[in-house]
Amino acid sequence: MVVLGACAAWPLITAAARGGRPEGMLLAVLAVAAGYAAGRIGGALLPVAAPVAAALAGAGLAVGVPDLTPGPQMVTPPGHAGAPAAVLALSAGAACCAARASSGPAVRSALWLLAAGIAVTGALLGSAGGCVAAAVVLLCSLAAGRLVHRGAGLAVLAAAAAGVSGLTWAVAGRVVPQGLAGALEGRLTPHRVALWQDALGMAGHHVGVGVGPGNFGELSATAARSLLSDDRPHSAPLQLAAEQGVAGVALLAAAFGWVLYALWRSPRSTPVVLTAGAALTAVAAIAAVGNALSFTVVSLGAGLLAGLATARPFVHDRAPFPESGPPPRGGGAAR
């Protein structure tokens, strides 16, 4: 509650200081809170069926609305491919969580196939990022069954998210080797790298409260020159640094850290926890290099998956709670 409250209050403070439009951030916070509440309820009542429904809904949304953007496809701004990739990663994570929570071998195999089918769907839709993210989540879920210490696994996921975000800042600051920089710029496009550089420049000149939420597009020379610009730098950490200052980045990191802590404290089995953590880390990585978190459905889905993986089912999990994890509050996995 403290983290989400601060994430909602700080945009209002920066908007009052610099002007701007904090509604987008407020909507994202509301979506995360609503998704988390729905996930906790669904995970408590239907620990297997609820994530299956979430996986099918996410996959259907990715197929029905491939770019998750309004308007004609030919005017879709570059960088919006991150939204369907994030949705596919969350859908695969939900399917894998359901597989790990199920007790029947046949049902579990069917859910593994569903997760694999979501990865194939990403390839058929032309979303290379979605295909790779879903496949990585599936592989991580398969490997999670061999892990005992959830804390170590979550620490690795946190390091991976921090590494991708750090690489984004390094590319924007031109501190990576020339060969690697050229390869990354070729994949990311020079336009997006230029947007990152504009955001980093704004963050350097307005460290305290930034330039104000929603004001990046008005101050970015790169965005002004592009006919397809959506007035965002296509990187969540850099956008918050530019528009809300260092405190905005700290709150984003705190929100992700809170999710990992909630997973560590979760009464669910370690494979379920690590599977959800892998999917949410994939979304964090996509958001660091794309525009995923600007879409309400992604924020809602992330909160939903976190809620499903931290819910205390009314029926006991088949898998015993690992000795390496902390005991659940209340003394048991179910009441």
Task: Output the pLDDT for position 332.
Answer: 44
The pTM for the full model equals 0.88
Residue 279 has pLDDT above 90, yes or no: yes
Domain boundaries, position 271: 2-47+148-310
Q: What is the pLDDT of residues 44-90, one digit of tens each?
A: 999 999 999 999 999 999 888 755 643 334 334 444 568 899 999 99
Task: Output the pLDDT for position 10.
Answer: 95
Task: Output the pLDDT for position 315.
Answer: 67
Mean pLDDT, the chain, whole residue set: 87
- Classify residue 329: in a domain, yes or no: no
Task: Output the pLDDT for position 271.
Answer: 95
What phi, psi does 250 have (nearest 5°)? -65, -40
First to last CA, the chain: 24
- Classify residue 36: in a domain, yes or no: yes
- Classify residue 167: in a domain, yes or no: yes
Q: Which of the pair, 91 or 223, is modelled with greater confidence? A: 91
- Classify residue 302: in a domain, yes or no: yes
Residue 334, phi-psi category: left (phi > 0), alpha (psi -120 to 50), beta (remainder): beta
- Classify residue 135: in a domain, yes or no: no
- Classify residue 55: in a domain, yes or no: no
- Classify residue 179: in a domain, yes or no: yes
In the chain, % of residues over pLDDT 90: 64
Task: Output the pLDDT for position 183.
Answer: 83
Task: Output the pLDDT for position 218.
Answer: 87
Structure tokens at 218: 């008005």
Task: Output the pLDDT for position 121.
Answer: 93
Residue 281 has pLDDT above 90, yes or no: yes
- Classify residue 120: in a domain, yes or no: no
Residue 318 has pLDDT above 50, yes or no: no
Task: Output the pLDDT for position 294.
Answer: 86
Alpha-carbon distances of 105 from 44, 101, 102, 172, rounded to whole Å: 22, 11, 8, 48
Numbers of helices and strands, H then E, in the chain: 14, 0
Q: What is the pLDDT of residues 227-275, one digit of tens each?
A: 666 778 899 999 999 999 999 999 999 999 999 999 999 999 999 999 9
Looking at the structure of the chain, the number of domains it has is: 1
Token match 């951030």: residue?
Answer: 25
